[in-house]
Each structure stands twice: as structure tokens, then as C-alpha cells.
Amino acid sequence: MSGAVLGIESTAHTAAVGIVSPDGEIMADRKAIFAPEAGSGIHPREAANHHVVALPGLVREALADAQLAPSELALVAYARGPGLGPCLRTGATAARALAHAHGLPLLGVNHCVAHLEIGLLEGATDPVLLYLSGGNTQVIGYAHGRYRVFGETLDIGIGNMLDKFGREAGLGFPGGPKLEALAEGPELEPLPYSVKGMDMAFSGLLTAALRKLADGMPLPRLAFAIQETAFAMACEVAERALAHTGKTELVLGGGVACNARLREMASTMADARDVTCFAPAKALCVDNGVMIAWLGHVMHSGGYETGPADDKVDQRFRTDMAEVTWR
Ligand code: ATP
Ligand code: FE2
């Protein structure tokens, strides 16, 4: 396949459009983020309405950045799941309209796999992905024809845990970056550390941290303890996945992977095992259209045939559902 691919991301709060060339050059990376009102979470319908307004302009801007006419594209890719139904449908409608209007093929990709495959653009070949975002906390890797989830959270996502604590502490949304800025060691306050087999749980940690906050523990000390404990849990599971699979590359993804301390802990663990750690630029860790475009390109050029499923969103599109024919 020759020609650039345009990717549309709209699984949750971020509407984004990215364009990549076949050799992996990032030609455009546009995004608009829905911000819920202070104190409230994301309402799927409101986020979708935001995306309805934002996407046409983002597509135009991305094409202008790439200096391309729509008809010069080789493919339109979009994230068909997992995510919030109304948000997914909005992105799918935009992708469908663009593809059909210009006679382009349409390909629906898995959002979580896109977070992994963007690591290949960074130079990885067969990595374990430590995917830490608001809604998702998973350790993913390719094995025997599918992307497998080796471990995941049993309750809330790690980013949601940080955001919930931040909200209770009056820090506003999102809490993750605010806690990072506040965190101050080296004294490590003990908090529940919950790794069960290859899975993790964060709600016990959240409850305990909130109790200590109510008891008057200084915020910087608590922020430090939350980061150290939660990130150690995630790194432990990632390390075990590397050990079990024998893979020698680790890719970080998801919004929480923007955190400098997480990056430091992951690369320390990787160094100790002779594993190469890929920490993509922050713009590629958070939800973005580039990773959707890139996965679309990888699948399409790898012989994946687009079919009826590519025209349908799937809120529960699990990482291991798709048979991987393009690797
Ligand atoms: P997904 O749909 O993949 O679950 P998402 O909707 O959660 O993604 P992302 O942009 O991947 O969106 O991640 C947002 C999360 O990342 C928020 O919970 C936010 O607090 C967290 N985050 C962002 N920057 C940092 C940081 N520097 N340290 C810790 N957490 C961070
Ligand atoms: Fe994401």
C-alpha cells in the first residue's frame, strides 16, 4: 500500500485526528479534549456532543498540516472500541463519511492494540505493553496469533484512582499530573499493595489514602506514597509478563505513562533485565489519532482485509478478540 493513512480517535474524552505516511512519518496530530465540569465525571453523551462539534475541524486541520487532499489518502482508520458507545459512534460516523465521500477503504481498529503498536513506530518489534490510562490498566503482548492481556486491574483503572483521589483532595481534574507535581519523598507511608497473580486492584489503596488524607496527613507525602505503591504494582506485573514471555522490549502507553516517576521505575526494572524500555512522547502516550492511523496502516499493509465488522463499533472490543493476521 502506498499513501498516507488518516486515523480518528474518539473512544472517551479525546477527539483526535492523526495522519501518518507509510514509512511512519507523523504528518498531523490534532486533538481536542472534552473537559467535564468541575467535580463531575465524563458523561458519554456530553463527550460525544463535544466530538460531533470538534471532529470536522480536526479533520480539516490535520489534512492541512499534512498538505493532503482527502482523495490522496490510502485509508481511513478509526477506533471501533473499546470505549463509550456514543463517543465511538461519533468517531465511526466521521470516519465513514470521510471514507465514503472519497471512495477510501474504512478500517476499524482496537484502541488498546493501537497503544501497543505505536511502540513499533518507536523501534520496538515485539514488546510487552504496560498500558496505564484513566479507564484501562493492562499488560498486553502478542502470543500465538492474538494480542493477549497478561494482567489487568480487577477494579478501577490506575488513572481513575489518581483522579478520584485528586478530586477528593480538591485538586481538580485530572488528578494524575497534579499529584505528580506535589509528590515528595523519601518517607514512604505504607498503603495497600494489591497484586493477585497477574492482576492488580487499586480501590483498597484509594480508600486507605483517602482515610489518611481525612486524618490530616500532608498531601505531598500521600501523593508520593500513592505513586510509589501503584506504580510498583504495575511494574511488578509487567516484569512478570516479560519473564514469562521472554520478550525483551517494554512499551509504555496511556496517559499515566506521561508520569516521570513511572517512566523512571519502568526503565530501572527494564535495565535490570536487559530489556529495552520505549517511552513514547507524551503526545503519543495519551489518546491520539496517530496511533489509530499507524495501526490502520500496519494492518492494511500487512494484508488485513477490511470487512463488515470494520463498519461497526464495539464498546467491549477486547484486546484478544481479533485474530491477528497482519503480523
Ligand atoms: P483510555 O480510553 O485509554 O482508558 P483515557 O480516557 O483514560 O484513556 P488518557 O489520556 O490515556 O485517557 O489518560 C488519562 C489519564 O492519565 C488520567 O487519569 C490522568 O490523570 C492520567 N495522567 C495524565 N498525566 C499524568 C501524569 N503526569 N501522572 C499521572 N497520571 C497522569
Ligand atoms: Fe487510551
**Ligand found nearest the CA of 115:** 2
- pLDDT tens digits for range 54-87: 999 999 999 999 999 999 999 999 999 999 999 9
pTM for the model stands at 0.94
**Ligand found nearest the CA of 135:** 1
Contacts of 120 (CB under 8 A, 6+ apart): 127, 294, 298
| Closest C-alpha to ligand 1, atom 23 | 255
Greatest alpha-carbon span in the chain: 62
| Closest C-alpha to ligand 1, atom 29 | 176
| Closest C-alpha to ligand 1, atom 19 | 176
Model confidence at 167: pLDDT above 50:
yes
**Domain range list for the chain:** 5-116+287-321, 125-279
pLDDT of residue 172: 85
Question: What is the DSSP track for 249-293?
Answer: EEEEESGGGG-HHHHHHHHHHHHHTT-EEE---HHHHSS-HHHHH
The answer to whether the 5-116+287-321 and 125-279 domains have the same CATH topology is: yes
Model confidence at 2: pLDDT above 60:
no
Q: What is the mean pLDDT of residues 307-321?
A: 92
Q: What is the mean pLDDT of residues 177-193?
A: 97
pLDDT of residue 1: 43
Question: H or E segment at 6?
Answer: strand 5-9
**Ligand found nearest the CA of 257:** 1
Question: Ligand 1: which atom is nearest the Cα of residue 258?
Answer: 27
pLDDT of residue 130: 97
Cell numbers of 254, please?
496511556
More confident of the two residues 172 and 89 = 89
Helices 158-168 and 175-182, axial angle in degrees (round to 10): 70
pLDDT of residue 173: 81
- pLDDT tens digits for range 274-299: 999 999 999 999 999 999 999 999 99
Q: How far is the CA of 198 from the centre of ligand 2 (A)?
A: 21
**Ligand found nearest the CA of 183:** 1
Q: How far is the CA of 168 from the centre of ligand 2 (A)?
A: 24
Q: How far is the CA of 159 from the centre of ligand 1 (A)?
A: 5
> Which residue in this structure is represented by grid cell 518517607?
187
- pLDDT tens digits for range 86-141: 999 999 999 999 999 999 999 999 999 999 899 888 999 999 999 999 989 999 99
Q: How far is the CA of 197 from the centre of ligand 1 (A)?
A: 25
Instruction: Work out the percent of the chain whose per-residue pLDDT is above 90.
Output: 89
| Closest C-alpha to ligand 1, atom 9 | 255
Q: What is the mean pLDDT of residues 176-184?
A: 98
Which of the four CATH numbers 3.60.20.30, 3.40.1020.10, 3.30.420.40, 3.20.20.370 does domain 5-116+287-321 have? 3.30.420.40
Q: How far is the CA of 187 from the centre of ligand 2 (A)?
A: 32
Q: How far is the CA of 104 from the centre of ligand 1 (A)?
A: 32
Model confidence at 197: pLDDT above 50:
yes
Per the rule left: phi > 0, alpha: psi between -120 and 50, beta: everything else, 274 is left
- pLDDT tens digits for range 205-245: 999 999 999 999 999 999 999 999 999 999 999 999 999 99
CATH superfamily, domain at 125-279: ATPase, nucleotide binding domain (3.30.420.40)
- pLDDT tens digits for range 18-39: 999 999 999 999 999 998 876 6
| Closest C-alpha to ligand 1, atom 3 | 133
| Residues having CB within 6 Å of any atom of ligand 1 | 11-13, 133-136, 159, 162-163, 174-177, 180, 254-256, 258-259, 286-287
